[in-house]
Amino acid sequence: MENDNINCWEFKGCGREPGGKNVSRDGICPVTIETRANGIHQGKNGGRCCWAVIDSYCNVKGVDGIPGNFLTCRSCKFYALVKKASELLVVA
């Protein structure tokens, strides 16, 4: 898959998408099934706006072990990737 439209669960490899390898242990991440966010930043469900989905894995567990909130999302490599792609769309 191209990085242009990669979703957070693909980028991070968390395995919490429906049918993912870690669903039986950790459950399905709400980001993967948040249909109201489908298409935002060209993502599937909440996959490219995960920082805005309440109870997402990263918002609960944090980034790199830091308890989660939006401030920790701002230091996430995936957030930076989506932000950069969005800025390129505005400029183009």
pLDDT above 60: residue 80: yes
Q: Do 73 and 6 touch, CB atoms closer than 8 A?
A: no
Q: How confident is the model at residue 1 (pLDDT cuts 50, 70, 90)?
A: very low
Q: Which residue has the higher pLDDT, 65 or 59?
A: 59
3-state secondary structure of 3: helix
- The whole-angstrom separation of Cα 39 and Cα 85 is 14
pLDDT tens figures, 17-31: 999 999 999 899 999
Tell me the torsion sign for CA atoms 76, 55, 23, 65.
Answer: positive
- The whole-angstrom separation of Cα 85 and Cα 89 is 6
pLDDT tens figures, 49-63: 998 887 776 665 655
pTM of the model: 0.81
Both tokens of 66, joined, read 């830091």
Q: Which of 48, 37, 56, 57 is nearest to 6 (CA)?
A: 48
Where exactly are the structural domains of the chain? 3-91
Q: Percentage of residues in the chain with pLDDT exceeding 70?
A: 76
